[in-house]
Structures are given as structure tokens and as C-alpha cells.
Amino acid sequence: MKYLLVMRGLPGAGKSTYAERVLDLFRKMYDTTVCSCSADKYFVGDDGVYRFDHTKLGQAHGQCKSQARSAMEVGINLIVIDNTNTTEREMEPYVSMAEKHGYKVKYKVVGKLDEDSVNEYFSRNIHGVPLDAIKRMAGRFQ
């Protein structure tokens, strides 16, 4: 069986940490192919430094979708989408691709949406997402 795991949560909630653990465990337990797709990877330079540019978000998500599609076309056994995925509209392209390629879709919500949690995520998010942006994401979470 092939799986698509769609991570969901606010910046700083621990999605990437959780995703890496799942990928490592799946790889070790089943000795199989895995892939992580994230829009954040678009902003990491050759030097390994993350440089976010909000004007390139569309391109970053386009690259993430393209990587997911390519992974599905070659039959990677576990593909993890490691983005915030706060709305159904954000997840729909991945779910549609998964259905087309015979993947079983699973979702993992990481974290909470209460004010204390949002403030904690703001303090530990490594991408410098402003607090007001994290609050907006929490408010539109479906």
C-alpha cells in the first residue's frame, strides 16, 4: 500500500519533527522508499540557510506539488506533505493527486490552536513567521 501523509499545524507546532520521525520509522520498519515534500525547502539555499521571501510563496508551493507528483509517479511508498495545510483548499491538490495515483491519504494535526499554544509556537518557529500571521492561520484552520 502507498500512503500520503498530510501534516497540518501552525508554524512551530512540531510538524517537521513529527514528519522526520515517521519517515525514519517507516524506512527502518519496512525498508521502503519515503519522501518529504515541503514548500519550506524552496527557501533553503545551497549554503543550507533558510531565506523566506513571501513574494515567492506561489513558486515554493508549486515546487512542492511538483515534487509530490513526481514521487507518486515513481511509486514512493510514503510521501509526507510537510506544510501548514490550514485549509481544505491547501490540501486538495495533494489529495487529488493521491487518489489519481492510488495512495491512501492520512492526516496528522500537530499542536493546538489556543492562545497559549500559538504564543509558544511563535517563540520556537525557526522561520521567523510573525505572531499576527500565526494567529491568522489559527483563525482559518479547518
Domains observed in the chain: 2-140 (3.40.50.300)
pLDDT digit string (tens) for 64-117?
Answer: 999 999 999 999 999 999 999 999 999 999 999 999 999 999 999 999 999 999
Categorize the per-residue pLDDT at 31 as very low, low, confident or very high, splitting at 50, 70 and 90: confident
46 falls in which pLDDT band (50, 70, 90)? Answer: very high
Q: What would the DSSP string read from start to end of the chain?
A: -EEEEEEE--TTSSHHHHHHHHHHHHHHHH---EEEE-GGGGGB-TTS-B---GGGHHHHHHHHHHHHHHHHHTT-SEEEE-S---SHHHHHHHHHHHHHTTEEEEEEE-S--SHHHHHHHHHH-TT---HHHHHHHHHH--
127 — pLDDT class (breaks 50, 70, 90) = confident
Identify the pLDDT of residue 1: 87
Which pLDDT belongs to residue 57? 93
Mean pLDDT of 25-30: 93
pLDDT at 128 over 90: no
Average pLDDT for 7-22? 97
Q: Does the structure show a pLDDT above 90 at 25?
A: yes
